[in-house]
Structure 1
Amino acid sequence: MSSNIIADVRLSESLDCLVITPRHSTDYHALSGVFKEALPAVKVRRSADGVWIAAEEVSALFDVEVAADLRWSAEAKLFAENRQRARQVHQHLYEEVSNIRVGGRDVANTYLTDIEGLDVLDDHQRVNIAAMTIPEGYGLCVFDEQGAGKTVTLIFALDVLVARDEVDFALIVAPKSMVPEWPRDFMRFKSDLYKVEIVSGTRKQKGIALGSGADILVTNFETAASMEDELRSLLRSYQGRAMLVVDESFYIKNLDARRTQTLRRLREWCGRAFVLCGTPAPNAPQDLIQQFNIIDFGITFDGLKIPDNRAEALQIVQQAIEKRGLFVRHLKSDVLPDLPIKSFNRIFIPLQPQQERVYAAALRNLILDLRSTDDKTFQRQLTSFLARRSALIQICSNPASVVEGYTEVPAKLHALDSILSEVIGKGEKVVLWSFYTASLNAIVNRYSHFNPVRYDGTVSDVAERREAVRKFQDDDHTMLFVANPAAAGAGLTLHRARLAIYESMSNQAAHYLQSLDRIHRRGQTRDVEYLIILCDKTIEIEEYERLTRKERAAQELLRDEVEEPITRETMLLKVIAASKLLSEEK
């Protein structure tokens, strides 16, 4: 409706509302009254910029006549249209996805009667593809456990959407270590049907890739952020027929992170979006929120206030995804029943004499400083205190990078001497995880006679990383794979080994949980064992317990029904209990 009030409608920087700004400053008050009259059920807010309407309510603008001449930006118009479209079909999609999940393969097949060539897929992958390609759908969270075949699922889902003439282009954003795997997997399953290009290198090389006419572009989170304008222009040119894929989507769990903001903006120009992750909530229930927001424009958590307390948030988040969320989740134990068992053994070792003195001094000084610091100062210096706590764990691994002049062989290297000699002496390959560069350096040098390959931040060349994996998998003389779980924890297949040793680990649960599945995945034929080396009577033990608590909390959040892993401690407790029963009978 035309009026004397002319106002510009634009999208807020934070993507949480539309801002309507009158072109004449004298119209601010009148504009607010116009919107309150037109939208009595909507909370219309005012700011110095004009009137703003929250994201969950913007679709109401299309349902009424507003007594103002609104001049929409392209981004604002699309933002409102996307949310209107999603709200119109969300309940229907939720019911369809739920029906497919419950009905399994038989129901999934009824959605795929027009598609051939799916016989190579497992039943759960058919379920995923049916849910991902529902007509009028706009996205799905694929939370299948690591090693259950999410990449294959995505490739065939894209194929279905292309065959139905719904999608012309896909942008895949993944961690750096995963980027080169996508073109290889497309070639493996679809030969040269699609032109797949990696967006990497110099800015000029990235520009060439963007202009290559590829059907699928693959890039990392950092490049997506730095090339956002170019990617947005490309996606916009496909007029809603582009598809966004976020691989290992726990990387976008933080709303304030640049990568998250970038992908939220790019998602607006894509007709469909899929997030893939086997460990979507490694730290807290809140980790799930932005992943769902990417695919459903905020509908799952619309109107909910999520408390900061993790325990309090768990039930709220759990109920939201179960009652509104569009997602699938399959565990390896359910879909790969023949996969061998895995067991965990913790090895407790004493610190070496000099190492113990260094650790005790660092611990004592930290305690003294904490006791003499007030709460306000502590919060101001929190980063420093956390670094000192982290240093304690690093000392347990190798004090050389913390203490100048440290020459003693650390305790864990002594333990590894005997473990590796025994295991590799029997012809077994080993994956050895360590989080610290100094420790990785020492390990590679000390065990050079096992022909180790290395995969961490010091190996930046993609081809060199790929060659490290190939040699470990294929070369009978390469017996040791030495890696940082932050760099190599996701996506790699290392099942030539049945033993993984943790010399030290990241403080991020996601890195640890992802790394576990490098040897326990499709193609593994032998029982898998994990050795966790911990320095006795140190903070390291509690740190590992913290990671396992996070693992259990994530399983509870997604209602995973999993058996407790076999450990030496649990087995010992059970046989002692059995022994007591026998004694009672006597």
Structure 2
Amino acid sequence: MKYKPHKYQEYAKDWIIEKEKSGLLLDMGLGKSVITLTAIDDLMFDYFEIEKVLIIAPLRVAESTWDAEIEKWDHLKDLKISKVLGPEKKRIEALEVKADIYIINRENVKWLVDLLVKDWPFDMVVIDELSSFKSHKAGRFKALKKIRPCMKRVVGLTGTPAPNGLLDLWAQIYLLDGGERLGRTITSYRDRYFNPDKRNQHIIFSYKVKENAEEEIYEKLEDICVSMKAEDYLHMPYRINNKIAVTLPKKIKEKYKQLEKDLLLPLEDSDIVANNAAALTNKLLQFSNGAIYDENGDVEEVHDEKLKALDELIEAANGKPVLVFYSYKHDKDRIIKHLKNVRVLESKEDIDAWNKGEIPIMLTHPASAGHGLNLQAGGSIIVWFGLTWSLELYQQANARLHRQGQKENVIVHHIIAKGTVDEDVMRALDKKQINQGELLLAVKARIEKEEK
């Protein structure tokens, strides 16, 4: 297929070419992959600045997305790739293959660094979903931090750079610039831009941004990060957010309140126990969905109100395909048992079948379909059977259908148990989305200004 880039895609490609360290904070559906591959192709065959590229991506994206993009576009046909995936023996064999681009899943980054640290061969590193490196304590971050001085060029790609607040930025930006803009340590970054918020004596649980610190952080990033939102550049299909409230029976609601109050719910043969606030939230989310793990790890079913609501939504879809997101394994098991013609997303074959319209109901966890999968050809209806606290997973999962190439308006249903933690999660997602938007707006590309 002949590539006819939009103006914003040309702008983003030039951004990568002109800057040895760059962050593309591009909304889902704007074509981060083809933009990056086009820049790689130019840098490799026109500018002769790079010879070997490493792309780090979520596993399913590493398995299918990047090579599919190369196969799709005529101008990329000369790029040769090697997938460093699977068992160690296969990964080593893949590294020995002569190629232009090597693709590895992020779980194997530490292994790769340990193997090649004394002779790092990649002069350009692309980190797909940079936000998955937001934790400065994670092994994958520490591994890349160790090898950062050996990287001539670094590109970070994400649509959600600060899913839980601006503290998330430090590790990601460090991988781009080695600490030049936000400081060489998380402590110095925190001390400069944040004040302690929630605490218990000497233990600090959270931080809040100092006055005027947001603007200063944004200014620090302007020269390496470019941000674009899909609605600014694409004719996106309309998205309808629908909240489906279900009422729990009185006796079930009383049990919910008991667990919420006492952190304990006695059952006939076992107990439901929550040892702390985090565990309680998790248990309450399970309860809201209709089943819960007891102290022995067994599943106790408590209600089927969400299953009834799911039935009604599928019936209302009138034969149109429905993509259902679940939260817990017992959710998946109960839905499979309850419904007919449901298929779990597990492989590339499932993705292909969905996009061909062969699957009426697709069931998946948001973490499994959260990054890089193109599912818009198969349907336009999403049902959240169980909600997630993660703004990043929530946005990325919805973007599997609500993205460029979708030909119908997208309906996103949220099944919410009234008077439960479900309502808190929905409010938190809405609040975090506002904060996320502020960051993206602050570093948004001034394309119109550049074109004048």
Task: Give the aligned partner of residue 200 of structure 2.
Answer: none
Distance 2:299 2:408 in 1: 43
TM-superposition CA deviations, 1:561-582 (whole Å, max 9, x none): 99xxxxxxxxxxxxxxxxxxxx
Deviating runs (4+, > 6 A) in structure 1? none
8 Å CA contact retained: 1:435, 1:506: yes
Cα 1:521–1:205 change in 2 (3 A) is same
Q: Any residues of structure 2 matched to 1:398-437 within 5 Å, and which?
A: 398-402=290-294, 406-407=300-301, 409-423=303-317, 426-437=318-329
Task: Give the aligned partner of residue 409 of structure 2.
Answer: 527
Task: Give the aligned partner of residue 228 of structure 2.
Answer: 330
Displacement of 1:128 in angstroms is: 0.7
More strand by share: 2
Which residue of the other structure, out of 438, 441, 452, is the alignment partner of 1:559? 441
Displacement of 1:229 in angstroms is: 2.0
Distance 2:138 2:301 in 1: 41
TM-score by length of 2: 0.85
5+ residue gaps, structure 1, are 1-116, 369-381, 460-464, 563-586
Task: Give the aligned partner of residue 53 of structure 2.
Answer: 170
Q: Any residues of structure 2 matched to 1:82-231 within 5 Å, and which?
A: 120-134=4-18, 137-162=19-44, 163-180=46-63, 181-189=65-73, 190=75, 192-231=77-116
Distance 2:124 2:443 in 1: 32
Q: Any residues of structure 2 matched to 1:418-497 within 5 Å, and which?
A: 418-423=312-317, 426-448=318-340, 451-455=341-345, 459=346, 465-474=347-356, 476-495=357-376, 496-497=378-379
8 Å CA contact retained: 1:196, 1:216: yes
Q: Any residues of structure 2 matched to 1:330-369 within 5 Å, and which?
A: 330-336=228-234, 338-352=235-249, 355-366=252-263
Distance 1:561 1:289 in 2: 15
Distance 1:194 1:299 in 2: 33
5+ residue gaps, structure 2, are 198-206, 266-273, 445-452
2:416 alignment partner, SS class: strand
Amino acid at match of 1:410: D
Displacement of 1:159 in angstroms is: 0.9
Which residue of the other structure, out of 387, 392, 395, is the alignment partner of 2:284? 392
8 Å CA contact retained: 2:263, 2:275: no
Amino acid at match of 1:127: Y
Identity %: 23
8 Å CA contact retained: 1:199, 1:217: yes
Amino acid at match of 1:263: L
Larger Rg: 1
Give the CA RMSD over aligned residues.
Answer: 2.6
Displacement of 1:556 in angstroms is: 1.4
Task: Give the aligned partner of residue 193 of structure 2.
Answer: 306
Higher alpha-carbon deviation: 147-156 or 304-313: 304-313
Which residue of the other structure, out of 258, 272, 283, is the alignment partner of 2:153? 272
Cα 1:396–1:431 change in 2 (3 A) is same
Displacement of 1:322 in angstroms is: 2.3
Which residue of the other structure, out of 98, 123, 128, is the alignment partner of 1:247? 128
Distance 1:258 1:477 in 2: 40
Task: Give the aligned partner of residue 202 of structure 2.
Answer: none
Displacement of 1:232 in angstroms is: 3.0
TM-score by length of 1: 0.66
Displacement of 1:177 in angstroms is: 2.2
Displacement of 1:395 in angstroms is: 0.7
Displacement of 1:557 in angstroms is: 2.2
Distance 1:232 1:315 in 2: 40
Distance 1:254 1:406 in 2: 34
Q: Which of structures 1 and 2 has the larger relative contact order (alpha carbons within 8 angstroms, sep 6+)?
A: 2
8 Å CA contact retained: 2:245, 2:415: yes
Displacement of 1:357 in angstroms is: 4.3
